[in-house]
C-alpha cells in the first residue's frame, strides 16, 4: 500500500509550461504518474507534452477531475497558487517552490484550517509511492523497488540517500515524503506518522531530521505517548552546524540547545527511536531492527 498518492491519483501541474515544470512533468509521466492537466495563466487552450493547459485551477479541475496538484510557480506567486488549489479542494498539494516569504506562508496556514487539503512543502522534493506514482522531483531511478519501508525527511538529498541504502539492503520503499526545510510548512512529521500507522504494508519508518525547530522533538514525544508500534530509524543532519547560522534550509538554524543535532538525537533515542550516526547506516540499521522484531 501507500499513503497520500497511488497509481490512480490524477495530478494537475501548476506552472507546467515553465522550464522546471516541463522537465519534472516529463519525469513524473515516465514514472507512471497520471498527469491530467496543467495551469498557466494566459496559455489556456494550448497543449504541452500532450497535456491540456488551462488558465485557472477552476477550469483544470472541472475539465479533468484532477484531485492532486503540484506547484512549480515562482516564489512571488506561489502562495496564490497554493490558495487556489486549496479553494478547489485538492486532496494533496505539493509545493516545490523555495523562497516563499514567511508572511505568505502564514496566510496559507491560516487558510488551510478546516479545509480538506493536505499540503506538502514548500521547498520540498515532494512525495513518491514506489512503482505507483510520483508527485515531485525525487529521482526515478532511486525509487525503483516497492516495499515496506516509509520515509519522512526534512532533507531532499538525504531522502534519496536513505532510499538508496534501504534498497541496497534488499528492502523496498512504500512511500517517501520530503516535507521541506522552511520554518513554516504544511504537513509535519506527526501528521505523516499518523498516516503510516494506518498503512498495513509499511513495517518500518525512516525519519530524517535537521537542526532547528522542534519537529523531531514533538514527533519523538508523540511516538511515546501515542503508542506508535512500528519501529523508527532516525538521523539528524547538522551535527557540526554553528549556533545562529542558517544551514541550507530556512528552518535549519539553531535557536537554542534543544535544536542541536546531538540533543535531538538523544531525545529521539529516549523515546524509542533507533538512531544512526550516518545516513550510510540506515539500511543496515533497518535490517537489524526488523530481524529483532521477527
Q: Mind listing the pLDDT tens digit for each residue in 67-90? A: 999 999 999 999 999 999 999 999
Q: Which residue has the cell 496559455?
A: 43
Q: What percent of the chain has pLDDT over 70?
A: 92
Of 173-182, 195-204, 235-244, which range is least confident?
235-244
pLDDT at residue number 1: 64
Evaluate whether 1-123 and 141-294 have a shared fold: yes
- Residue 15: predicted pLDDT: 98
Q: What is the reported pLDDT for 277? A: 92
In this prediction, residue 53 carries a pLDDT of 98
Beta bridge partners of 235: 208
Domain layout of the chain by residue ranges: 1-123, 141-294
Residue 250: predicted pLDDT: 46
Average pLDDT over residues 172-194: 96
What is the arithmetic mean of pLDDT over 166-173?
Answer: 96
CA dihedral of residues 139, 145, 162, 228 (deg, nearest 10)? 130
Of 24, 63, 249, 274, the active-site residue reads 249
Q: Dump pLDDT digits (tens) for 35-50.
A: 999 999 999 999 999 9
Q: Which residue has the higher pLDDT, 253 or 143?
A: 143
249 assigned to active site: yes
Quick check: 143 pLDDT over 50? yes
Rounded to the nearest integer, the mean pLDDT of the chain is 92
Asked whether residue 292 carries a pLDDT value surpassing 50, the answer given is yes
Out of 3.40.640.10, 3.30.70.141, 3.20.20.70, 3.40.50.261, select the CATH number for domain 141-294: 3.40.50.261
What's the topology of domain 1-123?
Rossmann fold (3.40.50)
CA distance 106 to 194: 24
C-alpha dihedral (246, 252, 256, 262), degrees to nearest 10: -120
Q: Tell me the per-residue pLDDT of 204-259, one tens digit each, with 9 for 90 and over.
A: 999 999 988 899 999 999 998 998 999 999 999 866 445 544 445 444 444 455 66
pLDDT at res. 35? 98
CA pair distance 11, 221, nearest whole angstrom? 35
Amino acid at each position: 500500500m501507500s499513503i497520500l498518492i497511488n497509481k490512480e491519483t490524477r495530478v494537475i501541474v501548476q506552472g507546467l509550461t515553465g522550464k522546471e515544470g516541463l522537465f519534472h512533468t516529463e519525469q513524473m509521466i515516465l514514472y507512471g504518474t497520471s498527469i491530467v492537466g496543467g495551469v498557466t495563466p494566459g496559455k489556456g487552450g494550448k497543449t504541452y507534452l500532450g497535456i491540456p493547459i488551462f488558465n485557472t485551477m477552476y477550469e483544470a479541475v472541472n475539465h479533468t477531475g484532477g484531485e492532486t496538484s503540484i506547484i512549480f510557480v515562482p516564489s512571488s506567486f506561489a502562495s496564490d497558487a497554493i490558495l487556489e488549489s486549496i479553494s478547489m479542494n485538492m486532496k494533496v498539494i505539493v509545493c516545490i517552490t523555495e523562497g516563499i516569504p514567511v508572511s505568505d506562508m502564514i496566510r496559507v496556514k491560516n487558510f488551510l484550517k478546516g479545509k480538506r487539503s493536505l499540503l506538502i512543502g514548500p521547498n520540498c522534493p515532494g512525495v513518491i509511492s514506489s512503482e505507483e506514482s510520483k508527485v515531485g522531483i525525487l529521482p526515478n531511478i532511486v525509487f525503483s523497488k516497492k516495499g515496506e519501508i516509509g520515509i519522512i525527511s526534512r532533507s531532499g538529498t538525504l531522502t534519496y540517500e536513505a532510499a538508496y541504502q534501504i534498497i541496497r539492503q534488499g528492502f523496498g520503499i512504500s512511500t517517501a515524503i520530503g516535507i521541506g526545510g522552511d520554518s513554516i510548512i504544511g504537513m509535519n512529521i506527526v501528521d505523516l506518522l499518523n498516516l503510516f500507522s494506518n498503512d498495513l504494508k509499511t513495517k518500518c519508518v525512516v525519519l530524517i531530521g535537521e537542526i532547528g525547530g522542534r519537529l523531531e522533538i514533538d514527533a519523538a514525544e508523540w511516538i511515546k505517548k501515542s503508542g506508535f508500534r512500528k519501529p523508527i530509524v532516525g538521523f539528524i543532519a547538522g551535527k557540526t552546524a554553528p549556533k545562529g547560522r542558517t544551514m541550507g534550509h530556512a528552518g535549519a538554524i539553531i535557536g537554542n540547545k534543544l535544536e542541536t543535532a546531538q540533543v535531538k538525537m538523544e531525545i529521539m533515542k529516549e523515546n524509542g527511536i533507533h538512531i544512526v550516526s550516518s545516513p550510510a547506516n540506515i539500511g543496515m540499521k533497518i535490517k537489524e531492527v526488523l530481524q529483532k522484531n521477527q
